[in-house]
């Protein structure tokens, strides 16, 4: 489902405090309707039921208090049959009991509400991550790490909070209407100051507008800016220190947090202004009404009238504040929709040739006799087709920046997949894959090791096997072959957690761990980008030996500047001359 009202680029403005465009109200309603539909009627129904329980308990306590006060203070205004003649001590004890029961049940309601909210936010996060992982390379080029972190860590929470506040608004509105109805039934003539208090609260809301939507959009931009700054700072502390970039990053952080403080002050200022207008107008109008009544009212009636008038104003204020909080958090869902729209598969991504589950299992478990790749695009790269054969190590070389990594990414289906097609020969049969859909299946059939390996803050085992079951002895043997056996000497060995705020490993160790991760996948095809980079002579020789052995068992493609590795290759593709040497 598309969101035409989201084609507003204010969310990507460089200055988070820049003026935010306010969507027309009907478009805001469209956005909220989309949020309600995404949450589902079941989710909304449960939220409404929990809110109804809370409202009933609230009304029960207030109703008893109103009946008690009005029947005692102005019995002549009470409707026949509704007066309560219980002793004061009994009435107060009953009121305390109801409030205690209300507190206990409200605790259960709060827990259930939080379970609903966390379930909804977890579902949104899972869907977003799934979209990110399945997005095309072209789509991923449009995204920033800070934007995604802001969505996952803040804006999705704001989305759920906006929905919750909408339900609370309806709850507050219902409670206010029932409250007013009970007052009208119990003491009709005493209801006028309550109606005047409602009018005063409405006037206060008009006099002090909240600007919730605009401030909410600023919050979305600020969340992304803060996540970019923090992500850049913590992504590699060693590199930050080496570049002496601490002061620059601290200044960036200080600037973003200063904008956050401005946003908080602005919200508090507007909320305080509204509360001041509301309290002043409610008391002033209620006092004016009492003055017009003359001296006929008793002190109890005067006190009760002021209290109930203020309560009426607070009831409508609850509706106003919930609406403003809903509008202030709804831009979080707008930001989420915008990013998901960018990640939504286009018509070209749904195209392509894919294989059934049986064919994929066959290709995963058996050796391939040939892999042909071709690209229909002539815009990027110097090579547009390539064939890999068993017992044949193919190496790509050429000057830096000439497209070695791009070529390997294209062959692996990690880039330019919409223009690529693959033909796989295995067991005397041929299978075709093409397009983004085919590329996603190809990823599972290849073992790829990029030039810059990524480590995760998990155990050494988890970093290597990624959830698969591989015997410790197998992992230990591989670590020994690659000169990494010393990593097992750490406390807890393979289970030792890897804290990566300041990377504890050398570049060569990280690179070999990335290679080992690929080799442990044991796939029919290995694609290795600069496999001997960052390595000393001994470690490079160990890696070359493994590559040469594996090239006799499966299809292997590498890119390299290493003369020794190029000498081992059966086919060398030099991008500088676009020539193939054998």
294-334 pLDDT per residue, tens: 666 667 666 777 777 777 788 888 899 999 999 999 999 99
- Asked whether the beta carbons of 221 and 16 are under 8 A apart, the reply is yes
Task: Provide DSSP, 30-77.
Answer: HHHHHHHHHH-HHHHHHHHHHHHHHHHHHHHHHHHHHHHHHHHH-GGG
What pLDDT, on a 0 to 100 scale, did the predictor assign at position 173?
Answer: 85
The rounded distance, in Å, linking the Cα atoms of 575 and 558 is: 13
Distances from the Cα of 541 to the Cαs of 165, 483, 531, 532, 561, in angstroms? 63, 11, 11, 8, 14
CATH of domain 350-455+505-581: 3.40.50.300
Q: What is the mean pLDDT of the chain?
A: 83
At 78 the pLDDT is 46
Average pLDDT for residues 63-73, to the nearest whole number?
54
Q: Provide, for the chain, the percentages of residues in helix, strand and coil under a 3-state DSSP scheme, each rounded to the nearest 5.
A: 65, 10, 25
DSSP state of 155: I
Show the tokens assigned to 385: 């087709």
Q: Is 188 helix (H, G, I), strand (E, B) or coil?
A: coil
Task: Check whether 19 has a pLDDT greater than 50.
Answer: no
Q: Enumerate the domain spans of the chain.
A: 4-9+25-344, 350-455+505-581
Q: Report whether pLDDT(449) > 80.
A: yes
Give the pLDDT of residue 232.
Answer: 77
How confident is residue 574, by pLDDT bands cut at 50, 70 and 90? very high
pLDDT category of residue 12 using cuts at 50, 70 and 90: very low
Spatial CB neighbours of 268, under 8 Å, sequence gap ≥ 6: none
Reduced 3-state DSSP string for 195-221? HHHHHHHHHHHHHCCCCHHHHHHHHHH
For 87-140, the pLDDT digits (tens) are 767 767 777 777 787 788 888 888 998 899 999 999 999 999 999 988 888 888
pLDDT band for position 242 (cuts 50, 70, 90): confident
Cα dihedral 49, 212, 282, 311 in deg (nearest 10): 20
Residues 6+ apart with CB under 8 A from 327: 28, 162, 210, 212, 213, 216
Residues 336 and 124 sit within 8 Å (Cβ to Cβ): yes
More confident residue, 286 or 580: 286
pLDDT, residue 69, reads 53
**First-to-final CA distance of the chain:** 52
Q: How far apart are CA 409 and CA 530, in angstroms?
A: 13
Residue 543 scores a pLDDT above 50:
yes
What CATH number labels 4-9+25-344? 1.20.1560.10
Sheet holding 429-434: strands in order across?
Answer: 385-388, 370-375, 420-426, 429-434
Distance, in Å, from the CA atom of 22 to the CA atom of 359, rounded to the nearest integer, reads: 53
Q: DSSP label at 5?
A: G
CA dihedral of residues 174, 176, 178, 182 (deg, nearest 10)? 180
Q: Are 498 and 533 in contact (CB under 8 A)?
A: no
- Please classify residue 454 by burial: count the beta carbons closer than 10 Å to its beta carbon, then call 0-12 exposed, 13-18 middle and 19+ buried: exposed
Q: What is the pLDDT of residues 177-234, one digit of tens each?
A: 877 777 677 666 666 777 888 888 888 888 888 888 889 999 998 988 888 888 877 7
**Distance (Å, rounded) from C-alpha 574 to C-alpha 404?**
9
Confidence band of 477 (pLDDT split at 50, 70, 90): very high
The C-alpha angle 486, 492, 493, rounded to 5 degrees, equals 30
Contacts (Cβ under 8 Å, ≥6 apart) of 237: 501, 502, 503
């Amino acid at each position: 489902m598309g969101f035409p009202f989201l084609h507003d680029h204010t969310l990507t403005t460089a200055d988070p405090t820049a003026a935010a465009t306010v969507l027309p109200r009907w478009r805001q309603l469209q956005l909220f309707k989309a949020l309600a539909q995404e949450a589902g009627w079941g989710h909304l129904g449960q939220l409404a039921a929990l809110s109804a329980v809370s409202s009933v308990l609230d009304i029960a306590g207030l109703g008893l208090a109103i009946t008690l006060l009005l029947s005692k203070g102005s019995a002549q205004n009470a409707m026949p049959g509704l007066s309560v003649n219980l002793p004061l001590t009994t009435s107060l004890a009953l009121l305390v009991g109801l409030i205690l029961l209300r507190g206990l049940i409200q605790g259960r309601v709060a827990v259930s509400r939080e379970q609903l909210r966390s379930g909804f936010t977890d579902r949104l996060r899972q869907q977003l991550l799934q979209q990110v992982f399945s997005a095309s390379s072209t789509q991923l080029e449009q995204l920033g790490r800070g934007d995604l972190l802001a969505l996952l860590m803040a804006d999705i929470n704001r989305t759920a909070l906006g929905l919750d506040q909408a339900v609370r608004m309806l709850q507050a509105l219902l409670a206010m209407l029932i409250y007013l109805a009970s007052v009208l039934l119990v003491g009709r003539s005493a209801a006028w100051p309550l109606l005047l208090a409602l009018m005063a609260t409405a006037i206060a809301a008009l006099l002090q507008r909240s600007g919730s939507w605009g401030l909410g959009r600023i919050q979305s931009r600020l969340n992304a800016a803060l996540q970019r700054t923090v992500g850049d700072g913590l992504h590699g502390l060693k590199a930050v220190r080496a570049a002496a970039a601490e002061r620059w990053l601290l200044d960036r952080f200080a600037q973003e947090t200063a904008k956050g403080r401005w946003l908080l002050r602005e919200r508090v200022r507007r909320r305080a202004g509204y509360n001041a207008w509301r309290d002043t107008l409610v008391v002033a109008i209620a006092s004016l009404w009492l003055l017009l009544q003359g001296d006929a009212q008793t002190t109890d009636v005067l006190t009760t009238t002021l209290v109930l008038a203020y309560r009426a104003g607070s009831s409508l204020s609850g509706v106003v504040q919930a609406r403003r909080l809903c509008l202030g958090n709804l831009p979080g869902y707008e930001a989420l929709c915008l990013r998901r729209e960018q990640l939504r598969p286009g018509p070209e991504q749904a195209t392509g040739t894919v294989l059934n589950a049986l064919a994929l299992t066959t290709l995963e478990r058996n050796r391939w006799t040939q892999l042909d790749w071709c690209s229909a695009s002539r815009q990027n790269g110097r090579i547009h087709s390539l064939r890999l054969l068993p017992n044949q190590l193919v190496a790509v070389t050429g000057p830096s920046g000439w497209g070695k990594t791009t070529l390997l990414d294209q062959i692996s289906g990690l880039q330019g997949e919409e223009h690529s097609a693959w033909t796989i020969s295995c067991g005397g049969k041929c299978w075709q894959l093409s397009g983004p859909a085919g590329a996603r299946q190809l990823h599972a059939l290849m073992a790829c090791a990029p030039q810059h390996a990524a480590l995760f803050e998990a155990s050494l085992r988890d970093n290597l096997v990624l959830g698969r079951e591989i015997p410790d002895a197998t992992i230990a043997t591989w670590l020994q072959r690659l000169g990494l056996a010393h990593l097992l000497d750490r406390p807890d060995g393979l289970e030792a957690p890897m804290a990566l705020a300041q990377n504890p490993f050398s570049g060569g160790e990280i690179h070999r761990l990335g290679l080992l991760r690929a080799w442990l996948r044991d796939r029919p095809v290995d694609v290795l980008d600069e496999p001997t980079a960052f390595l000393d002579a001994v470690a490079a020789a160990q890696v070359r030996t493994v590559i040469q052995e594996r090239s006799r068992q499966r299809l292997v493609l590498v890119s390299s500047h290493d003369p020794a590795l190029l000498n081992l290759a059966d086919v060398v593709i030099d991008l500088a001359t676009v020539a193939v040497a054998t």
